[in-house]
C-alpha cells in the first residue's frame, strides 16, 4: 500500500486489504476441492458448439443485422433533459453516449445516463396493471377514469381531482395538462421531487469557461445538477497550465466533501451555519465596506475577497441549490458587486412547469390531503411515499385517499400505498419531449417497444382526457405540428425528421432575463446555534432512490468515499472522536423527532459538528436489489430545508457494520503513485526525459512482419479528472463487466476494469487526487511472463491482449501485476441471468465465465471495428479520433485521450512529451502505454507571486 | 531368503514400462487426431433443414448471386439470412402452397422467422467479420465450400483455429501479418 493511499484508507478508517469477510477452508476440504478440480478440469476442456438455429426476420425492417444503429434521445432528470445517442443492436439498446449537439451533454454522459440502459432491462420492473391485489388492465383503468365516471366522483369542476407529477419541462405534458385543467378547472396539479428546483422561476446560467476565479459555496456544480457535464467540461478546459487562457482557480466552501471540493485549489470546510455570516463578510469586503455587519469574519474570507476583486468581472460565485434563501441572495449580491452578471452568470426562465408557483407545491397538496379534499390522487412518476420529508407523513395520507393511481417503473413504496398501479415506460421506450436546463428543446424517442407494456405520462394524461388509446407518437407529432416549432415555413416532415436525427432543436434555449433585485431579506434564523447540524444530500449513485435497483450504480464506488452498496453518516475525524466512533460504528441520529440508526463514515475534510447523510437507501418496495441496502434517512428530513439540527448518540461498542469501501483494495506498492504539483513547481519543470530502462541488449530489431502502423496509447490528465466515476460505468456497460454484490466487494472481488484511486495530495492536508487506474498496457508486461498458457500476450500494435478462451485461471498474472488491474471471475456472475437481463450485454465483447481472468483491453473491439471500417472504406490507416474508448467518450472533462504513438502530431504523442507526463510506478520499467499528466494546483499565494 | 522375483520379472517390468510409454504417446496422438477429425469438428455435418433448400438450384440453374440473399456479406459482420418475405416474390403461388413450404407459410402468418439449423458455427468467443473477408478477396467458398454443389448444405471447413490461422499466416504481402495473427484479431 502506498504511503498516501494508506493515509487515505486510514483516514476513512479502513486498513486491511482482506478484512474479516474472507472464508476459511480446512486443509482437508482444500485437498478435496483440489482433487475434484483436477478430475473435472479434463472434462471442462471439451467444448462442442451446441446446435443452434439461425432466425432471420420474417419481414426485415430497415437495418442490416450486425451493423449497430444510433438514435438521438434524451434522459430527463428532475425535469431537465440531457441529450444522448444510444447504440442499438438489432433493435436492442445496449450503450448510451452523450449527444455532442446537446448543450447539456456536449458528447459526455454521466453515471445515471450510462447506467440507465441497465434499468431498462431490470427484471424487477413492474409488468402489469394492478388494482389492489389483482391483475387489471389499462382498459379497466380507462373505464374508471373516463371523464363521465370521474366527473361523478370529483365533481364537475374536478375539485376532488389532484395530480402529483415529477417535475417536467415537456411541452407535450404542458399542453395535455392545460387541456386537463380546461376540463377540470378546479383540479390540483402539483410537482415534486426531493431535489427539483421548483421554487425558482429564474435559473442561474453559468459560463464557467469565462471565469478566472470561481467560488463554489456548498455547490457540487461539477458532478451534480442538470448542466454539470457542461460545467465540468468548461472548468477542465482551463485546468491545463499549457492552456492559452491561463488556469482558473477554484475555491470550494463546503461542509461535506464533494467532487467539486476535491477538484478545488482551496477547499474550506465550514459548518452550514457559518456560511451566511461568512458570505456577509465577503460581500462587505468586496463592496469595500468592511465590518459592516459581522466584524472581521473567518480568516479565509479576506484572501478570497482580494482574489475576487483582482479578477473583477472574470469571476463567479456558484451558490449551491441546497443553501438557504439568504445565502443564495448574498451570492447574487456578490456577483452583482463584482460585475459578473451578464458575463459569467445570467438568468433565464425556468423550463419547469409550475416553477416558482406556490400553488403547485407539495405543501399545498399535503394541506389538501390533510383536509380530506382529495378524492382521486394520480401520482405520475416519482416516489412520494418514500422520498418525502418524514414529518409530512405523505405515505399515510396517500393511503387515506379514496382513489389513488400510480404510474411508476417499480412496485415501490408509493405503488404499495396506491390502489392502481400502472407500469411506466422507461425513457428508452417513450416518445416525449423535454427542455434542457437552458430551455433547449430535446426529443425523447424510443429505442424499443415497451418491454412490460409501460405507459408514458402523456398516455396517462390523455386517458384522463378521455383518449385512452392515443399513441404517444401521435400525441407528440400532433403537438409539434400544432406548435409549428420549425418556424421557417419548411415542410413539417423534413423538419421533424431532422429533429429526430439530431435529437435537439437548435437555438431553442431561453433568452436571458433581467435578474430580479433579489433583495436581502432580514435573516430570521441567524440566532439559532445548533450543537450538531445534519445535512441532507442526494446520493452520488442512487440519487433520491430512483436508481437504487441498479447494480451498476450500487456497485459504483462513491466518488470521494469509495463506499459501495449502502450509505453512511459522514463525520469529520474530530467529531467522530468526540463520539468515540470509527467507520462502521452505528450511530443513532435524531432529527425531526425521529431516530435512525446508521453506520458512521469518518471523512477527513468534513466540517466539524456536522453530519452528512444521503438519501436513496433503505428501500422496502419490491425492488429486490435495493431492498435492505443502506438506511433510509428521509424520516429525519424536516420539511423544506436541507440542513437541520440533530442529536447523535453512539451505539454500544458491539454495534458495528462492515461497509463495502473499496479504498483499501487493489493498492499500488509505491510511495508516489500519483503526482501533483504547484504552479511554481510546474514552471520549474524541465522537458520530460523518457526513462528508458538500461539494457545490455541491442535495441530489438523489428520482427520480420514489422510492427503495426498504429501503436495504441493513452494519456490521462489528472488536472482535468475530477473523479466523477462516469468512465467506470461506461466501461462496465461497454465491456460486459459483471456486478458481484456487497459481500464480494467486501472480499475485494469487485470486477471494474477501470477504477478511480484516491490519494491524499499531501500528508496532513485534506486535498486529494483522483487517478483512474486501468490496465497500463505495459510494453514489458509483468503479467505476460508468468502466464503458463500464453493467455495474455502482446499484439504487434502494442496491446496487452487477454484471451479469455485460453485462460485457465492460475491468477499468476494478477499476482504479478504491479497495478492490480486484473480481475478474476470467482463465480459465473453472468450465468443465471434472466433472458431480459442478458439483453444489455454488448454483442461485440465476450461474456466471461467462471475461472477466467479479465482486464481492460483499451476497448479492443472498437479498435478492430474501426480498422475494419477503414479497410472497407479503402483507407489504410485509422485516423486519430476515429477510435474512442468507452471511458474517453463519456468523460465530461476530456481527461482521457487515446490514439497512436505513430502520429507524431497527435494529441497522445504531444501529451507524452508534456513535462507533466509520468508513468505510474515508473521505476519498475514496465514501460506503460498509459501516461498520466500530473495535477497542477493553482493556489492563490503562488498565483499572486507570479503576477 | 529366496529371491522374490524370477529373472524374467525384469523383462516384464521393462515391457510394461515400454508399453505404458507407448500407450501414453498413442493416447496423446489419438486425442490430437480426434480433436481434428470431423467427428470432433463437425466437418461434413449435414443438419436437416426445415425446408430442403437447394443451393445448386438457386445458384447454378437460376444464376442467383450469393449476395442477393446474403445481403450483409459485403457490409456487415454477418452475411445475413434472407427474411421470409424475400422468398415470396420469386416463387409461384401454387408452389408455395405445397407441404414443402409449410414452414414458410407459417412464418409469414405468424411473423416469426424460419428456424434454419446453423451449419457453419463459430464459438461465441470468436468474432468473425464477413465484410472485411469478402471485400479483401476471400471467396465465400474458402470457408463455406462448394455451396453451389451441395444439395444439402454441410459444414465444409473444419473451422478449427488452425484453419483460420492457415490463411492469416499466409496473408499476401502488403498485409500486416503480425496484426492478422494477434489474438485480439478474433478474440475480444
The three state secondary structure string of A642-676 is: CEEEEEEEECCCCCECCCEECCCCCCCCCCCCCCE
* Secondary structure of residue A614 in the 3-state scheme: strand
- Per-residue pLDDT, A71: 95
Residue in chain B closest to A703 (alpha carbons) equals B178
Measure CB to CB from residue B47 to each of A51, A847, A868 and give the nearest one.
Answer: A51
Quick count: other Cβ atoms within 10 Å of Cβ A174?
A: 17
A29: pLDDT strictly greater than 60: yes
What would the grid cell of residue A513 be? 432575463
Select from B32, B39, B29, B31 the least CA-distant residue to B158: B39
A361: closest CA among A192, A482, A558, A511? A192
- Collect all residues of chain A within an 8 Å Cβ-Cβ radius of residue B176: 705-706, 708-709, 796
**pLDDT score at B59:** 92
Start-to-end Cα distance in chain B? 69
Q: Is the per-residue pLDDT at A662 higher than 70?
A: yes
Q: Mean pLDDT across the stretch A866-876?
A: 86
pLDDT at A690: 61
- Is residue A12 very low, low, confident or very high in pLDDT (cuts 50, 70, 90)? low
Question: Does residue A943 carry a pLDDT above 90?
Answer: no
pTM for the model: 0.91
Q: Are A279 and A273 in contact (CB under 8 A)?
A: no
* Minimal C-alpha gap between B26 and chain A (Å): 18
Residue A472: other Cβ atoms inside 10 A: 22
Q: How confident is the model at residue B177 (pLDDT cuts 50, 70, 90)?
A: confident
In chain B, how many H helices and how many E strands? 11, 1
Lowest-confidence segment of A111-125, A388-402, A584-598, A755-769 by average pLDDT: A755-769
On whether the CB atoms of residues A98 and A109 are closer than 8 A, the answer is yes
Instruction: Work out the pLDDT band at A520, boundaries 50, 70, 90.
Output: low
| Cβ contacts of B157 on chain A, cutoff 8 Å | none
- As a whole-number percent, the residues of chain B with pLDDT over 90 amount to 62
Q: What is the pLDDT of residues A68-95, one digit of tens each?
A: 999 999 999 999 999 999 999 999 999 9
Is the per-residue pLDDT at A2 higher than 70?
no
Residue A680 has pLDDT above 90, yes or no: no
Q: Residue A292 above 60 pLDDT? A: no
Q: Is beta strand A161-165 parallel, antiparallel or unpaired with respect to A188-191?
A: parallel
Q: How confident is the model at residue A211 (pLDDT cuts 50, 70, 90)?
A: very high
Per-chain mean pLDDT for chain A: 87
Overall average pLDDT of the A472-483 stretch:
89
Q: Which of A213-217, A526-530, B175-179 has the highest mean pLDDT?
A: A213-217
* Residue % of chain A over a pLDDT of 70: 90
CB A572 within 8 A of CB A553: no
Give residues with Cβ within 8 angstroms of A653, minimum separation 6. Answer: A585
What pLDDT is attached to residue A1?
A: 42
Contact residues for A662 (Cβ-Cβ < 8 A; gap 6+): A557, A562, A564, A745, A748, A750, A755
In angstroms, the separation between the Cα of residue B65 and the nearest Cα of chain A is: 18
Query: What does the longest C-alpha to C-alpha distance in chain B come to?
Result: 98
Q: pLDDT grade, residue A672 (50/70/90)?
A: confident
**What would the mean pLDDT of A526-545 be, rounded to a whole number?**
83
- Long-range pairs, A791-796, Cβ under 8 A, ≥24: A791/A853, A792/A853, A793/B183, A795/A708, A795/B178, A795/B179, A795/B182, A795/B183, A795/B184, A796/A703, A796/A705, A796/A706, A796/A707, A796/A708, A796/B176, A796/B178, A796/B179, A796/B182
Whether A67 sits inside 8 A of B121 (CB atoms) is no
Per-residue pLDDT band at A766 (split at 50, 70, 90):
low
Which one, of A445, A444, A446, A472, lies nearest residue A458 by Cα? Answer: A472
Closest CA to A782 of A823, A814, A753: A814
Q: Write down the pLDDT at residue B90.
A: 85
Q: Are A799 and B124 a contacting pair at CB < 8 A?
A: no
Query: What grid cell was written down for A345?
Result: 452568470
CB-closest option in A66, A705, A801 to B178: A705
Query: Which among A57, A793, A860 has CB closest to B188?
Result: A860
- Determine the residue among B74, B105, B179 to mutate to test chain A binding: the one whose Cβ has the most chain A Cβ atoms within 10 Å: B179
- State which residue of chain B sits closest to A51, comparing Cα positions: B118
pLDDT at B46 over 60: yes
Nearest to A303 by CA among A947, A870, A944: A944
| Integer Cα distance of B116 and B113 in angstroms | 9
pLDDT for the residue A613: 94
* Min Cα–Cα distance to chain A from B60, Å: 24
Q: Which residue has the higher pLDDT, A650 or A176?
A: A176
CA distance B170 to A895: 41
Average pLDDT over residues A593-598: 90
Beta strands A660-661 and A532-537: pairing type?
Answer: unpaired
**Using the beta-carbon criterion (under 8 Å), do B183 and A56 form an inter-chain contact?**
no
Rounded percentage of chain A residues whose pLDDT exceeds 90: 63
pLDDT over 50 (residue A30): yes
Nearest CB neighbour to A64, from listed B72, B113, B123: B72
Q: Tell me, what's the pLDDT at A649?
A: 86
Of B115, B129, B183, the CB nearest to A803: B183
Chains A and B form CB pairs within 8 A to the count of: 139
Distance CA(A663)–CA(A557), nearest Å, equals: 9
Q: Give the distance between the most distant pair of CA atoms in chain A.
A: 94
pLDDT at position A34: 84
**Per-residue DSSP letters for A805-870?**
GG-----HHHHH-TT---EE-SS-TTTT--HHHHTTS-TTSPPP-TT-EE---SSHHHHHHHHHHH
Do the Cβ atoms of A803 and B136 come within 8 Å? no
User: Which residues contact residue A149 at a Cβ distance below 8 angstroms, ignoring those fewer than 6 apart?
Assistant: A143
| Distance from chain centroid for Cα A324 | 25
Q: Is the pLDDT of residue A701 over 60?
A: no
Contact between A249 and A304 under an 8 Å Cβ cutoff? The reply is no
CB contact under 8 A, B178 and A708: yes
* Section A215-231 average pLDDT: 93
The pLDDT value given to residue B172: 82
* pLDDT (mean) for A19-46: 69
| Chain B partners within 8 Å of A709 (Cβ) | 176
Residues A315-334: pLDDT tens digits?
A: 999 999 999 888 999 999 99
| Residue located via cell numbers 417503473 | A409
Task: Give pLDDT, residue A294.
Answer: 47
Instruction: Sort out which chain A residues have CB atoms less than 8 A from B130's CB and list them.
Output: 66
Q: Name the residue facing A706 among B42, B83, B178 (closest C-beta).
A: B178
Mean pLDDT along residues A232-247: 90
Residue predicted with more confidence, A266 or A11: A266
Q: What pLDDT shows up at residue A903?
A: 86
Give residue A917's Cα distance to chain centre.
28
- For residue A596, the cross-strand partners are A589
CA A724 to CA A78: how far, in whole Å?
20
Q: What is the band of A417 on the pLDDT scale with cuts at 50, 70, 90?
A: very high
Q: Per-residue confidence at A313, pLDDT binned at 50, 70, 90?
A: confident
* Nearest CA distance, B136 vs chain A (angstrom): 8
Stronger pLDDT, A376 or B176, i.e. the higher one: A376
Amino acid at each position: 500500500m502506498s504511503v498516501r493511499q494508506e493515509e487515505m484508507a486510514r483516514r476513512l478508517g479502513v486498513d486491511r486489504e482482506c478484512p474479516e469477510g474472507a472464508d476459511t477452508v480446512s486443509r482437508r476440504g482444500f485437498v478435496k476441492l483440489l482433487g475434484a478440480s483436477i478430475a473435472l478440469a479434463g472434462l471442462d476442456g471439451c467444448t462442442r458448439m451446441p446446435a443452434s438455429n439461425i432466425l432471420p426476420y420474417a419481414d426485415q425492417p430497415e437495418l442490416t443485422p450486425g451493423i449497430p444503429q444510433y438514435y438521438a434521445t434524451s434522459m430527463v432528470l428532475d425535469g431537465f433533459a440531457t441529450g444522448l445517442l444510444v447504440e442499438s443492436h438489432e433493435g436492442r439498446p445496449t450503450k448510451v453516449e452523450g449527444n455532442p449537439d446537446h448543450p447539456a451533454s456536449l458528447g459526455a454522459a454521466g453515471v445515471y445516463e450510462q447506467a440507465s440502459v441497465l434499468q431498462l432491462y431490470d427484471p424487477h420492473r413492474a409488468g402489469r396493471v394492478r388494482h389492489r391485489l389483482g391483475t387489471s388492465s389499462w382498459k379497466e383503468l380507462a373505464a374508471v377514469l373516463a371523464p363521465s365516471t370521474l366527473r361523478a366522483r370529483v365533481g364537475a369542476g374536478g375539485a376532488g381531482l389532484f395530480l402529483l407529477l415529477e417535475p417536467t419541462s415537456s411541452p407535450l405534458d404542458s399542453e395535455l395538462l392545460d387541456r386537463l385543467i380546461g376540463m377540470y378547472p378546479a383540479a390540483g396539479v402539483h410537482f415534486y421531487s426531493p431535489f427539483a428546483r421548483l421554487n425558482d422561476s429564474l435559473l442561474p446560467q453559468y459560463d464557467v469557461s469565462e471565469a478566472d476565479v470561481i467560488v463554489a459555496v456548498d455547490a457540487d456544480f461539477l458532478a451534480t445538477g442538470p448542466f454539470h457535464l457542461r460545467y465540468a467540461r468548461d472548468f477542465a478546459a482551463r485546468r491545463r497550465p499549457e492552456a492559452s487562457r491561463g488556469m482558473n482557480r477554484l475555491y470550494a466552501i463546503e461542509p461535506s466533501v464533494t467532487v467539486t471540493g476535491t477538484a478545488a485549489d482551496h477547499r474550506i470546510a465550514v459548518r452550514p451555519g457559518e456560511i451566511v455570516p461568512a458570505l456577509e463578510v465577503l460581500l462587505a469586503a468586496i463592496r469595500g465596506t468592511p465590518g459592516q455587519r459581522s466584524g472581521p469574519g473567518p480568516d479565509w474570507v479576506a484572501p478570497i475577497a482580494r482574489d475576487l476583486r483582482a479578477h473583477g468581472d472574470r469571476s463567479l460565485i456558484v451558490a449551491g441549490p441546497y443553501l438557504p434563501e439568504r445565502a443564495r441572495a448574498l451570492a447574487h449580491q456578490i456577483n452583482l458587486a463584482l460585475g459578473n452578471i451578464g458575463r459569467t452568470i445570467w438568468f433565464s426562465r425556468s423550463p419547469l412547469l409550475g416553477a416558482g408557483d406556490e400553488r403547485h407545491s407539495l405543501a399545498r397538496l399535503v394541506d389538501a390531503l390533510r383536509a380530506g379534499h382529495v378524492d382521486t390522487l394520480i401520482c405520475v412518476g416519482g416516489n412520494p411515499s418514500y422520498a418525502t420529508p418524514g414529518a409530512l407523513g405523505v405515505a399515510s395520507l396517500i393511503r387515506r385517499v379514496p382513489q389513488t393511481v400510480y404510474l411508476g417503473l417499480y412496485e415501490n413504496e408509493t405503488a404499495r400505498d396506491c390502489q392502481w398501479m400502472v407500469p411506466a415506460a422507461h425513457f428508452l421506450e417513450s416518445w416525449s419531449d423535454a427542455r434542457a436546463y437552458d430551455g433547449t428543446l430535446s426529443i425523447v424517442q424510443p429505442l424499443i417497444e415497451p418491454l412490460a407494456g409501460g405507459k408514458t405520462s402523456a398516455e396517462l394524461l390523455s386517458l384522463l382526457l378521455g383518449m385512452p388509446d392515443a399513441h404517444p407518437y401521435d400525441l407528440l407529432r400532433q403537438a409539434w405540428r400544432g406548435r409549428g416549432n420549425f418556424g421557417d415555413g419548411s415542410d413539417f416532415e423534413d423538419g421533424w425528421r431532422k429533429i429526430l436525427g439530431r435529437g435537439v432543436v437548435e437555438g431553442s434555449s431561453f433568452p436571458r432575463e433581467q435578474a430580479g433585485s433579489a433583495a436581502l431579506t432580514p435573516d430570521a434564523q441567524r440566532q439559532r446555534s445548533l450543537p450538531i447540524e445534519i445535512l441532507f444530500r442526494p446520493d452520488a449513485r442512487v440519487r433520491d432512490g430512483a436508481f437504487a435497483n441498479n447494480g451498476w450504480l450500487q456497485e459504483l464506488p462513491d466518488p470521494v468515499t469509495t463506499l459501495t452498496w449502502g450509505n453512511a453518516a459522514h463525520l469529520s475525524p474530530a467529531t467522530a472522536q468526540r463520539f468515540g466512533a470509527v467507520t462502521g460504528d452505528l450511530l443513532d441520529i435524531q432529527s425531526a423527532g425521529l431516530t435512525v440508526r446508521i453506520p458512521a463514515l469518518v471523512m477527513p475534510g468534513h466540517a466539524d459538528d456536522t453530519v452528512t447523510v444521503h438519501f436513496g437507501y433503505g428501500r422496502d418496495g419490491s425492488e429486490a436489489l435495493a431492498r435492505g441496502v443502506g438506511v433510509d434517512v428521509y424520516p429525519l428530513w424536516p420539511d423544506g430545508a436541507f440542513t437541520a439540527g440533530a442529536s447523535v448518540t453512539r451505539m454500544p461498542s458491539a454495534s458495528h457494520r462492515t461497509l463495502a469501501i473499496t479504498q483499501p483494495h487493489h493498492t499500488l506498492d509505491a510511495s508516489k503513485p500519483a503526482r501533483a504539483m504547484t504552479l511554481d513547481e510546474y514552471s520549474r519543470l524541465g522537458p520530460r526525459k523518457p526513462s528508458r530502462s538500461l539494457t545490455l541488449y541491442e535495441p530489438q530489431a523489428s520482427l520480420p512482419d514489422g510492427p503495426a502502423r498504429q501503436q495504441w496509447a493513452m494519456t490521462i490528465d489528472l488536472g482535468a479528472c475530477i473523479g466523477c466515476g462516469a468512465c467506470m460505468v461506461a466501461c462496465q456497460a461497454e465491456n460486459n463487466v459483471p456486478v458481484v454484490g456487497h459481500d464480494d466487494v467486501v472480499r475485494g472481488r469487485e470486477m471494474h476494469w477501470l477504477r478511480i484511486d484516491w490519494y491524499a495530495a499531501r500528508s496532513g492536508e485534506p486535498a486529494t487526487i483522483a487517478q483512474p487506474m486501468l490496465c497500463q498496457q505495459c510494453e514489458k508486461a509483468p503479467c505476460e511472463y508468468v502466464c503458463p498458457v500464453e493467455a495474455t500476450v502482446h499484439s504487434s500494435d502494442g496491446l496487452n491482449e487477454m484471451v479469455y478462451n485460453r485462460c485457465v485461471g492460475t491468477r499468476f498474472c494478477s499476482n504479478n501485476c504491479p497495478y492490480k488491474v486484473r480481475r478474476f471471475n470467482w463465480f459465473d456472475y453472468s450465468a443465471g441471468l434472466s433472458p431480459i437481463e442478458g439483453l444489455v450485454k454488448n454483442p461485440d465483447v465476450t461474456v466471461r465465465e467462471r475461472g477466467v481472468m479479465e482486464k481492460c483491453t483499451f476497448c479492443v473491439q472498437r479498435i478492430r471495428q474501426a480498422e475494419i471500417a477503414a479497410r472497407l472504406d479503402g483507407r489504410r490507416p485509422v485516423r486519430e479520433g476515429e477510435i474512442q474508448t468507452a471511458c474517453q467518450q463519456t468523460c465530461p472533462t476530456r481527461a482521457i485521450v487515446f490514439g497512436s504513438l505513430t502520429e507524431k502530431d497527435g494529441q497522445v504523442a504531444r501529451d507524452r512529451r508534456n513535462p507533466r507526463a509520468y508513468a505510474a510506478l515508473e521505476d519498475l520499467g514496465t514501460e506503460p502505454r498509459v501516461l498520466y499528466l500530473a495535477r497542477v494546483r493553482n493556489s492563490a499565494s503562488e498565483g499572486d507571486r507570479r503576477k | 531368503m529366496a529371491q522374490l522375483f524370477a529373472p524374467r520379472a525384469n523383462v516384464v517390468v521393462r515391457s510394461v514400462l515400454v508399453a505404458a510409454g507407448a500407450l501414453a504417446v498413442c493416447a496423446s496422438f489419438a486425442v490430437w487426431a480426434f480433436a481434428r477429425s470431423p467427428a470432433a469438428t463437425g466437418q461434413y455435418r449435414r443438419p436437416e433443414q426445415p425446408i430442403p433448400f437447394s443451393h445448386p438450384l438457386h445458384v447454378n440453374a437460376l444464376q442467383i448471386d450469393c449476395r442477393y440473399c446474403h445481403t450483409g456479406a459485403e457490409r456487415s459482420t454477418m452475411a445475413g439470412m434472407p427474411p421470409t418475405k424475400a422468398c415470396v416474390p420469386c416463387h409461384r403461388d401454387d408452389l408455395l402452397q405445397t407441404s414443402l413450404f409449410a414452414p414458410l407459410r407459417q412464418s409469414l402468418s405468424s411473423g416469426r422467422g424460419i428456424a434454419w439449423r446453423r451449419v457453419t458455427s463459430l464459438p461465441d468467443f470468436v468474432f468473425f467479420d464477413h465484410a472485411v473477408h469478402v471485400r479483401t478477396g476471400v471467396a465465400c467458398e474458402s470457408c463455406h465450400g462448394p455451396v453451389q454443389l451441395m444439395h444439402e448444405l454441410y459444414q465444409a471447413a473444419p473451422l478449427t483455429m488452425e484453419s483460420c490461422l492457415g490463411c492469416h499466416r499466409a496473408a499476401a504481402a502488403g498485409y500486416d501479418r503480425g496484426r492478422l495473427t494477434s489474438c485480439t484479431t478474433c478474440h475480444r
